[in-house]
Amino acid sequence: MDDKAVHAVRILGIDPGLNFTGYGFVDYVPGVLRHVASGVIVTPKGELSERLGYIFSELGKLIELYSPMVSTIEKTFLNSNAQSSMLLSHARGAAMTAAAVHRLACREFSTREIKKSVTGYGAATKDQVQELVKFHLHIEEDLSSDQADALAAAICYANSSILLDRVPALSNKVGSSGTGTARRGSSSRRSRNEWTRLYEGKQK
């Protein structure tokens, strides 16, 4: 297929939360990731139904504004606080419904999958994720953890075979990635070493 037929795929990454929902829009073409926009939806106080409606409404407005082709969100994980897990699940539902209403399939990835895709290490810290997200997307300003997690989910989708299945024009062009993200099959040790070199270099 002619190179001119390959267009950027716009990905919406979502980091849901009842108080703060991070979002990030990333354009992807083979070998290139570009930061489009990101931020945090801050939910006002009120009844649970009103707060969920706000997340749904605000995310819908962003989808209409930036017109992503696909979306992605972190899978639910259970922690020791059942109440917090339940509220997070409500927020995820509101976000995923906003995507569905706008005819966006919403792919779920585990926390470990997202971290490994961005840093090469599934147990990376939040600071490491933030730094590597900024590195991959050439972002100079600081990112909140919610923004970084949303953008990390988008990067994970860009690195996944699912995206290639949805956009076949990309399938023959992913052999050489210039994003610096970890390739499937690379060892965790090598990826951690790459992270260490990057992070130490930024501290000098």
Question: CB of 121 within 8 A of CB of 127?
Answer: no
Q: Is 149 one of the catalytic residues?
A: no
Strand order in the sheet with 106-109: 32-42, 20-29, 9-15, 70-74, 106-109
Q: Is 146 one of the catalytic residues?
A: yes
From 27, 58, 131, 146, active-site residue: 146
Write the DSSP assignment of 90-158 as a string of letters.
Answer: HHHHHHHHHHHHTT--EEEE-HHHHHHHHHS-TT--HHHHHHHHHHHHT--S---HHHHHHHHHHHHHH
Q: Is 3 one of the catalytic residues?
A: no
Consecutive H or E run containing 85: helix 82-101
From 27, 58, 74, 131, active-site residue: 74
Q: Which residues pair with 34 in a beta bridge?
A: 27
Name the residue among 179, 173, 18 with its Cα closest to residue 84.
18
Tell me the C-alpha to C-alpha distance, in Å, between residue 49 and each of 22, 46, 77, 98, 193.
19, 8, 22, 15, 46
Q: Active-site residue numbers? A: 15, 74, 146
